[in-house]
Chains A and B, each alone.
Chain A
């Protein structure tokens, strides 16, 4: 029953996002056809009429245009990119998906593992040296803009120490030195480290708070009174109970993770969706921008839904 309700809720939210996409990009002042052909000179009235007919712009905004819009979105057809003329939006977006998934995915795994470990150890002995150091570092990492951390890492590790190259994967394929896996990995270290460190701080802070909170519970006192060792209490009694807020955080923070990834990709010229967003925004490539907006928003909703369902698995009290 709960699953049905969650699915319905997510479906509704996605519908609202799709509608929002329509209103943001169609109902704004200015001619949509001017957006479609850009600022090209020498456009005759006949060509304009042709374009209007082709895009259905000669029909009323509602319901004709809205319905055709819904149908094309359902087919995954977002039209043609302004910037990369002739290419469909999906052709432009397709090759950019994998780099972003790799960047965000690897960084998340590292951040969750490191953050939970630091947070659990810090929360287990609040006030200890490890706690004070760990918490300050975590707060610092949490407080800094992700892209700035990327620039700092570039200065320290690429410019001063020269361990890693300054350039990212920008010239991927054009540059002979790339193509070897070792080179790709070498260029991926700093971007992934940036996203990972920025996220670690948050997980560590939350895990610490959760562990401190749970250790006040009676069952922890009982476990210790039974003579169970510190490590076992932490692993078997504290961590499983502290998992819940972390799941919520992971899902609620996807928006921030995406924002972090967009800016970090801009810093390192990482050829993913984030860099594409920046490029599309600078070129005023609205069809691409619209599709990116949908992808980011819908994936946020889906991840939230999965987290909600996972939550009921982890905590049987919720489903009751």
Chain B
């Protein structure tokens, strides 16, 4: 825990960056004003960084900084929802399989193995156009654009297996600990044992693992948007890179257009890694003390 009390410079920077991304996702208008569209674009197309446009403009003259800040919302929303789905599924399956053991355990792990090898990106690639077909280009499902919903569901449904495996192995070890035995002896129900004695001991493990799922989700969302499955009206960082690619930004050397959203993704991902690492370290020191 002392790691949390005295954070390193890197951890401070990561934390600051994640706070900034959170602000960008929640109140982008306060930071850079309303999102610029083709109509409200304020600059000359494809101009390099200047005093007016710190990070340059895109092919229709929109401010890159403005777009990057506004793109945080979709990227983070998709990543967080998908990871939440994955966390709930993975934890539930892992705890139940590890606690119940036997046939239920075997069946669940067999299913988990299937999803472990199922490439999320490929599944999303196939499902997304179908979702657009069903929901319509302009339609929404539960207030979501169909592709966004597909991204969330596919990432969530294909990424829980890793969490389930880790949670299961930890549950297997926890259920034989003396404090669980004691609870069972005094007549605690299975539900009580799982929620009061096993789950609290899994929290840091689950958090560390979920942060890694967020990273994977950001990655898949960006890749899907990059090949044109994003929403042009609600950009994400991947959509920006898709636009940059369509406009031939790399070929004409418009580095500001390519570097800004990409570096943002890299910095966010590395910060999340660092955060996950800190949580895992905290977990390690807890274990050592318990031993």
Q: Does A296 contact B (CB under 8 A)?
A: yes
- Asked if B126 and A289 sit within 8 Å, CB to CB, the answer is yes
Question: What's the interface size class on A, roughly?
Answer: 35 or more
| Interfacial chain A residues near B245, Cβ < 8 Å | 151, 266-267
- Asked if A259 and B121 sit within 8 Å, CB to CB, the answer is yes
Docked pose: A218 CA to B244 CA in angstroms = 54
Docked pose: A13 CA to B161 CA in angstroms = 15
Which among A24, A28, A29, A147 is the interface contact of B223 at CB below 8 angstroms? A147
Minimum Cβ distance to chain B for residue A302 (Å):
10
Which of A57-65, A94-102, A122-130, A136-144 sits within the interface? Answer: A136-144
Which of B29-37, B44-52, B247-255 sits within the interface? Answer: B247-255
- Asked if B251 and A252 sit within 8 Å, CB to CB, the answer is no
Q: 8 Å CB contacts to B: which residues of A1-47?
A: 9, 13, 16-17, 24-25, 28-30
Q: Does A293 contact B (CB under 8 A)?
A: yes
- Asked if A266 and B121 sit within 8 Å, CB to CB, the answer is no
Q: Does A226 contact B (CB under 8 A)?
A: no
Which partner residue on chain B sits nearest A281 by CB separation?
Answer: B129
- Asked if A145 meets B223 with Cβ closer than 8 Å, knowing A24-B127, A289-B129, the reply is yes
Which of A103-111, A153-161, A173-181 sits within the interface? Answer: A153-161
Docked pose: A16 CA to B223 CA in angstroms = 26
- Asked if A30 meets B258 with Cβ closer than 8 Å, knowing A255-B118, A262-B227, A266-B226, the reply is no
- Asked if A281 meets B241 with Cβ closer than 8 Å, knowing A148-B258, A259-B220, A300-B117, the reply is no
| Interfacial chain B residues near A284, Cβ < 8 Å | 129, 133
- Asked if B258 and A155 sit within 8 Å, CB to CB, the answer is yes
Q: Does B1 contact A (CB under 8 A)?
A: no
Question: What's the interface size class on B, roughly?
Answer: 35 or more
Q: Does A89 contact B (CB under 8 A)?
A: no
Which among B126, B227, B250, B251 is the interface contact of A263 at CB below 8 angstroms? B227
Which partner residue on chain B sits nearest A293 by CB separation?
Answer: B126
Q: Does B120 contact A (CB under 8 A)?
A: yes
Q: 8 Å CB contacts to A: which residues of B101-159?
A: 110, 113-114, 116-123, 125-130, 133-134
Identify whether the interface residues of B are mostly helix, strand, loop, or mixed.
helix
- Asked if A152 and B262 sit within 8 Å, CB to CB, the answer is yes
- Asked if B122 and A293 sit within 8 Å, CB to CB, the answer is yes
Q: Contact flags (1/0) for A247-259 with B, using CB distance below 8 Å?
A: 0000010111011
Q: Does A70 contact B (CB under 8 A)?
A: no
- Asked if B125 and A277 sit within 8 Å, CB to CB, the answer is yes
Q: Contact flags (1/0) for B48-76 with A, using CB distance below 8 Å?
A: 00000000000000000000000000000
Docked pose: A144 CA to B126 CA in angstroms = 24
Q: Does A223 contact B (CB under 8 A)?
A: no
Which partner residue on chain B sits nearest A17 by CB separation?
Answer: B118
Which among A9, A29, A160, A296 is the interface contact of B113 at CB below 8 angstroms? A9
Docked pose: A68 CA to B70 CA in angstroms = 49
- Asked if A152 and B228 sit within 8 Å, CB to CB, the answer is no
Minimum Cβ distance to chain A for residue B236 (Å):
12
Q: Does B163 contact A (CB under 8 A)?
A: no
- Asked if A254 meets B266 with Cβ closer than 8 Å, knowing A145-B226, A281-B125, the reply is no
- Asked if B265 and A144 sit within 8 Å, CB to CB, the answer is yes
Q: Contact flags (1/0) for B16-27 with A, using CB distance below 8 Å?
A: 000000000000
Minimum Cβ distance to chain A for residue B12 (Å):
17
Docked pose: A278 CA to B229 CA in angstroms = 10
| Interfacial chain A residues near B113, Cβ < 8 Å | 9, 13
- Asked if A151 and B122 sit within 8 Å, CB to CB, the answer is no
Which partner residue on chain A sits nearest B249 by CB separation?
Answer: A151
Minimum Cβ distance to chain B for residue A7 (Å):
14
Minimum Cβ distance to chain B for residue A31 (Å):
11
| Interfacial chain B residues near A29, Cβ < 8 Å | 134
- Asked if B265 and A148 sit within 8 Å, CB to CB, the answer is yes
- Asked if B270 and A258 sit within 8 Å, CB to CB, the answer is no
Docked pose: A76 CA to B226 CA in angstroms = 31
Minimum Cβ distance to chain A for residue B253 (Å):
4
- Asked if A159 and B251 sit within 8 Å, CB to CB, the answer is yes
- Asked if B241 and A296 sit within 8 Å, CB to CB, the answer is no
Among all A-B residue pairs, the 4 with the closest Cβ atoms: A255-B119, A259-B121, A159-B253, A148-B262
